[in-house]
A and B are shown apart, each in its own frame.
Chain A
Amino acid sequence: MAHKSDMEHPPRRSAHAPLSARGEPYVWLLGGALAGGVVMIIGFLVLVTYNGLKAFWPRPVAVITMVDGARTAGEMVRTETYSLHSEAESSGQGTRSLYRVGNFDLTSEDFKWVDQPDVKSIQEPEDIVLVERLEWGPFIGTLVSASARETTTAAEKLDKNDLQELINQAHERREKIQLIQRGVLGDVNRDMEAVRLSLRWAAMEHGGDSREYASIEKEKSEETERLESEYARLSEEAARLDAEDAAITFTFADVSGREITIRQSGVVRMYWPNTQGILGKTGVYIARWWEFLTAEPREANTEGGVMPAIFGTFVMTVMMALLVAPFGVMAALYLREYARQSALVSLVRISVNNMAGVPSIVYGIFGLGFFAYGVGGWMDGWMYAERLPSPTFGTGGVLWASLTLALLTAPVVIVATEEALSAVPQSAREGSLACGASKWQTIRYIVLPKALPGIMTGLILAMARGAGEVAPLMLVGVVKLAPELPVDMVFPYVHLERSFMCLGFHIYDVGFQSRNAEAGKPMVFMTTLLLMSVVAALNAGAIIIRNRLKKRYVAGHF
């Protein structure tokens, strides 16, 4: 009986939703996942920013007197505890501090660990000076005297303004010498090379014993003579200035009393870290940043600036964007608008998507083999035969790097463009076609403008990816130190065949390929910070352009 009534009236549903149906636990899960990601990104940004920003801030210099009487001076980097493993005290913890001691030319070490038990006393004397030098890294010690030719002035008689004046004069002298050595002599050198190449070309064209060659040789020999005498004159001038400069020096002593004498022009910056106020420190900080952003690197990239790397990254990324945008958009237009949707098109689409997953080093190898050696080698044989065997385009260069990156990022642009195109409503296409527009006119006037913001988004992603790429670039044109920028004031102004520096590779080089990893550390953080800023700036630029386009095509005025 009861059974029958159950059949007629199934049990009533519970009015209470079970916890799993409510969704709140999942909200926490989803929110937690997002928060985890955000925390990691912010943590990374804070770490890099903090370490990058503090690296240039002048720190006090401590002079440490050891129990055994030895003295060391340096900036403290960090303190750590470590386990003692000596036989005598087999257990327990020791404390030690790492000091940046500089004076590599005297002591052959930049950094020194100091065990706390060995320390007798630590002072911060006021007369300690920190000298940033063009060579050998920083010097920490005291200023003894300044000499100009025969006259020597003791340090006590020089105030800081006099010293700054001396350093400024020394910088002027250095710039003058550099102008001759790099600028003017470089120009003469280039002219001489041009003469040599034109002779070589004539020999190849007409034969080495032909009459044409003889006449060209005669014509050029005068020029060669003129250039050679010019070269000799300039070298002499440079040597004279250099000898003059060499006689103007500073003498320093380290805390143990060893003296060194260096040219005044070899001093980049000099300050008294223990007496500086906040203003002086800020001045040094800003000057260091300025040098970092505008100067060329020194000392195997661990000092100086990264300007060539910033410039190289910028040129490469912009060129890549200019190459990949038309290529990717055209490919996507064909796939989405023209190709009949078939199995073959699906296969092409899957392949394009898979291309995004190919390791970037593979693109590097392809770029080297196909672009540099293949296309570049052919161009050399065709256009620059007189320069062989030294390659012009037949080796890594900014053009090949940009092309390789364009290839690497093409899938991103193609996929984003396809998505943007498919988001354009069919009614817009139909409206245009019904007006008697051709397919191309419809794409040109209606579809592309509507899809443009989406296409720009893809391009932004591609640029971010390209600017941060390192592995393939090592094969197709990025070098540790490029003497010349890819764009300069020498005809034809843009030198696409030149190898270049980029920030991503600079990080790797400074952090892992330099003499002293500890010395490179701040540089790694700062370069990372800079690279992220460059990527952010490039993206911000693209986003601004995109938003303008969006506004233009969605509403408002024309």
Chain B
Amino acid sequence: MSANSLSHHHEDPTIRHERKGEEGSLVSTEDFSLWYGDSQALYDVEMALEKGLVTALIGPSGCGKSTLLRSFNRMNDLIDGLRVEGSIKFDGHDIFAPDVDVIGLRKRMGMVFQKPNPFPMSIAENVGYPLRVDGVRDRKLIAETVERALKSSALWEEVKDRLDQSALGLSGGQQQRLCIARAIAADPDVLLMDEPCSALDPVATAKIEELIDELAGRYTIVIVTHNMQQAARVSHNTAFMYLGRLVEYGETGAIFTVPRADRTKEYVTGRFG
């Protein structure tokens, strides 16, 4: 590791491995750069998310992985002074095009946050929230959806007898699975997960990982994680990011066993990060 190689690092193009996936990509970024005011957070990111697979975004803190994730459903729009260049295509359409309906976009992309954020409502109302927002009044349809979503998120057995109780009474792991149920209740295409296990204990983490495994295939999943073992366990493809750039991207096995960039090798072997 010479100082020289570090200084040249920023200009290095992304190293690309073979990727898993046969159905093509559902979301892809093209030359995507992003600024918060004057400071640039993402540099020319170019990556495609394979349909039906789990893609992990890894990298040290501040590398831009969460920023990238939040760009997919335009959650960054809430921040003043945000500016983007390049494009993100979802199902072939640029999501930053002026005619895009952001609310419609978010309905097709469920999101799970770092800290479980159940609403101050009952369990059933939490999961049914996307339908309520859509103006669905059919109680039967709502009840069915809630049940299906809770079953999909492996929470049904634990809460089926207290659906009308406050969601805030659940444990942390249950709350996070509830948030996953809420995210998939409206049957999105993509599931965005921003460090979904960082606030959970190992048992709850294992349950969520199991769940991600089950949901893969039905949904295209992107998961941001700090935990490299987790990325190795749950994802098909892995992208390593550093200082706002996509350094290396490819099949998870290749990234963890035969990384080509020095930075990636150091990170996945735990020498920094």
Contacts and interface: CB of A to CB of B under 8 A. Distances in A.
A446 interface: yes
Interface stretch (A373-381, A432-440, A473-481, A495-503): A432-440
Contacts of A438: 103, 133
A431 to B, nearest CB: 4
Interface stretch (A34-42, A530-538, A548-556): A548-556
Interface string B46-85: 0000000000000000000000000001010010100000
B103 A431 contact: no
A412 B248 CA distance: 55
B133 A431 contact: no
B82 to A, nearest CB: 13
A555 B119 CA distance: 11
A435 B113 contact: no
Interface in B85-99: none
B117 A435 contact: no
B130 to A, nearest CB: 5
B230 interface: no
Interface in B142-188: 164-166, 168-169, 179, 182-183, 186
A554 B117 contact: no
A340 interface: yes
A427 B118 CA distance: 9
A435 B23 CA distance: 26
Contact of A434 (B80, B168, B183): B183
A430 B121 CA distance: 16
Contacts, number: 86
Contacts of B133: 432, 435-438, 441, 445
A445 B119 CA distance: 9
Contacts of B122: 558
A436 B119 contact: no
B119 A428 contact: yes
Interface in A404-437: 425, 427-437
A556 B130 contact: no
Given A434-B183, A435-B106, A340 B168 contact: no
Interface of A: 340-341, 425, 427-438, 441, 445-446, 449-450, 553-558
A412 to B, nearest CB: 25
B270 interface: no
A446 B110 contact: no
A429 B117 CA distance: 9
10 contacts: A427-B115, A436-B133, A437-B129, A438-B103, A438-B133, A446-B120, A554-B120, A554-B168, A556-B165, A558-B125
B113 A431 contact: yes
Given A428-B119, A435-B106, A555-B169, A340 B130 contact: no
Contacts of A555: 166, 168-169
B117 A428 contact: yes
Contacts of B186: 435-436
Given A341-B80, A449-B120, A557-B164, A432 B129 contact: yes
Interface string B19-59: 00000000000000000000000000000000000000000
B100 to A, nearest CB: 13
Contacts of B111: 430-431, 434
Contacts of B113: 427, 430-431, 434
B119 A432 contact: yes
A433 B113 CA distance: 12
Contacts of B134: 436
B87 to A, nearest CB: 21
Given A340-B80, A428-B119, A449-B120, A434 B164 contact: no
Contacts of A430: 75, 78, 111, 113, 117
Contact of B117 (A431, A556, A558): A431
Contacts of A450: 120
A425 B78 CA distance: 14
Contacts of B236: none
A434 B166 contact: no
A557 B106 CA distance: 30
A431 B119 contact: yes
Contacts of B110: 434-435
B164 A558 contact: yes
Contact of A557 (B75, B118, B129, B165): B165
Given A427-B113, A427-B117, 20 more contacts: A425-B117, A430-B75, A433-B106, A434-B111, A434-B113, A434-B183, A435-B107, A435-B129, A435-B133, A435-B186, A436-B106, A436-B134, A437-B103, A446-B120, A449-B120, A554-B120, A557-B164, A557-B165, A558-B164, A558-B166
Contacts of B168: 554-555
A425 B113 CA distance: 13
A430 B129 CA distance: 13
Nearest to A429: B78
Given A341-B80, A436-B106, A445 B183 contact: no
Interface string B226-264: 000000000000000000000000000000000000000
Nearest to A341: B80
A27 B78 CA distance: 45
B103 A436 contact: yes
Contacts of A427: 113, 115, 117
A163 B119 CA distance: 70
B107 A436 contact: yes
Contacts of B80: 340-341
Nearest to B168: A555
Given A428-B117, A446-B119, A553-B120, A436 B132 contact: no
Contacts of A441: 133
A441 B168 CA distance: 21
B74 to A, nearest CB: 9
